[in-house]
Amino acid sequence: MILVFGSTGQVAQELRKILPDAQFLGRADADLTAPELCAEAIRAVAPDAVINAAAYTAVDRAETEEETAALVNGAAPGAMARACAGLGIPLVHISTDYVFDGAGTRPFAPDMPVAPLGAYGRTKLAGETAVQAAGGAHAILRTSWVFSAHGGNFVKTMLRLSETRDRLTVVADQIGGPTPARGIAEACVTIAHRLIARPALSGVYHYSGAPDASWADFARAVFAAAGRSVVVEDIPTSAYPTPAERPANSRMDCAATETVFGIARPDWGAAVNDVMKELRVND
């Protein structure tokens, strides 16, 4: 049996669909701001593997709430990893492209230097470091630009804005791989099962959608899939300031994930169409 931290997030909701026999722990069951309680929950359940699909993901708010984000994204995964190591079971932990500085145009490989630009990235990197330091079987799966039919994400924001606007300005100089939550969930399950059998496969892996695109490209694809006539005007990041700095280059080298686990990069365009069907959005 697999134990999942997270209940209402995008990846957790997709995990519910493919892991009907898993046990899910939401905020009421495991408060990630109290890391040791998360460890106690793992020891109480004694599962075959743990997937951590819970995180503090409010990138801008993290700039003023870094202490809380550090507990959820850094200390809690560390406590989970130590508990898993003590039981001899693997942990699959979801991380982010925000651990990189976004410099250049080359896709970031898992072993490239990390240099987060803001609080969110720093706290997620702290979680990675703590998971690795625990010494147990683990996979850190870095991903980017997550979307689904659930929760808050770029696809749903674009659809909401298009209800009242026929022209939108969208950042075009940040490039990355939009990633369907369903694909992340499936990857986590595959990796968890492989680690149960072969803990030596532990390490850091990347998983993001293909092909790489800008946010503006992503928006145009969303409107095309939804059948909405919305003009997208490309703008630079400088024209849309935010409290937290975003990496300009979120391209990720996912070759190791395919080589080791047989998991290829998902086609995000096809996934957008699937999300539209799930939302029943089509004009």
Rama region for 243: left / alpha / beta (φ>0; ψ in -120 to 50; rest): alpha
- State whether residue 24 is helix, strand or coil: strand
> CA 52, 56, 57 angle in degrees (round to 5)?
105
Is residue 247 a contact partner of residue 117, using CB atoms and an 8 Å limit?
Answer: yes
Q: Which residues of 131-163 are buried (b: 16+ CB within 10 A; e: fewer)?
A: bbebebbbbbbbbbbbbbbbbebbbbebbeebe
Q: Identity (one letter) of the amino acid at 177?
A: G
What's the CA gap between 51 and 253, in Å, rounded? Answer: 22
SS3 category, 223: helix
Active-site residue, from 120, 205, 207, 240: 120
Distance CA 129, CA 146 (A): 22
Neighbouring-strand partners of residue 204: 140
| Local structure of residue 11 (DSSP, 8 states) | H
The pair of structure tokens assigned to 182 is 């369903």
120 is catalytic: yes
Question: How many angstroms separate the Cα of 143 from the Cα of each of 40, 101, 240?
Answer: 28, 15, 23
The residues that are catalytic are 120
